[in-house]
Structure 1
Amino acid sequence: MLDIEKIYKDVGALLEGHFLLSSGKHSPNYLQSAKVLENPKTAELLAQELAKKIKESGIQIDTVCSPAIGGLLAGYELARALGVRFIFTERKDGQMTLRRGFNVKPGERVLICEDIITTGGSAMEAAREIEQRGGKVVGFAALANRGVCKREGGLQDSKPECKLPSNKPLFALADFTFPIYEQHECPLCAQGSEPIKPGSRGN
């Protein structure tokens, strides 16, 4: 069994400070999966472990789709480990869209993969685009789960702010449960601290 938290810590990918998350919420902790995935051997190892969980579930997948940019490396490696096609959505005029000649066939079974799932907002944007094109989203996956949504085999239940559907599985390697605050309730802001955004949007 891989020690996912140790892997993140060893490469300096488990950050402490004051961070603005993609969801708009604030947190004193941040997972920078790009630091983990910059080593191809580590990326392959993590993807193979995640693929093992997915295969054990018996779920049938034709394609892995990731929302750009954060999910690209994780999604590609997962697709390679599963032996299926990989595509990605990207923002155009603020909307997640399939471009670059990508398409899906009617009924094509698609797994949405992120590097990290917090509320699942970006994953759901990608899922809606896939389903509008006629594909069938069969589940979600991520290297790390921030503990807002319930993952397969996890002990924590979904919180009200989770945007993923309860009738589709979420596969992830580990839960990382950190404090998350609305901006107006953030104690770090109350102390005069300014959040930084080290993720894929705005930096």
Structure 2
Amino acid sequence: MGNRCAALVMATVTVLALAACGNDDGTVDPDPKKASNALAAGLDAQAKGDLDEAVRQYNEVLKYDKKNKYALYDLALIDAARSNYGEAENKYRVVLAIDPAYEPALFNLAILVKAKGNNAEAISLYQRAIKAAPKDAAAHLNLGLLLRATGKVKEGDAAVKKAIALNPKLKDPAASASTAPKSPAASDSASPDASDSASPDASPTPS
């Protein structure tokens, strides 16, 4: 009898342990704390240049928080840094499906689609980025240069003028414009809850 009870206890513990690992469909339950910890670890690894570890940690975030825009955004940054532009574009679009006004993703996606020759969408994305962050001088500048290039000189001049007013260090003409993607979100400071923690964000250059 004693052996049977011991076996029953062991079986129960095993079942509980398996239940803690995941659900029958292979998913895991949302866990904001684990997602937040993984996001912080990913940002730290990315800052140190360990992109493989950063990717691992960001994917860990998504395991516990599928719609974490910061993890997706930083994975897109890493894809772009590795010249995986198609993957980067896809992830930026997922980020914007989650948060249509997330300015760093709007800005960086505009750069990618412009590089593919889709000027109309790039203009729209820059305009949305400016609406989300009216003081983003880089977005004004890139929009202005693109408008000029597509024949909308008057609107382009106005946008460039606005950019320089916001940041006098910026120069006209286009030769001095930076179209480098932004980096992990600094303007969004990481919050304890991963579902709303910040990925590094910066201005015109990858931050």
State TM-score, norm by structure 1.
0.29
* Structure with the higher fraction of residues in strand conformation: 1
Greater gyration radius: 2
Task: Give the structure, 1 or 2, with the largest relative contact order (CA under 8 Å, sep 6 or more).
Answer: 1
State TM-score, norm by structure 2.
0.29
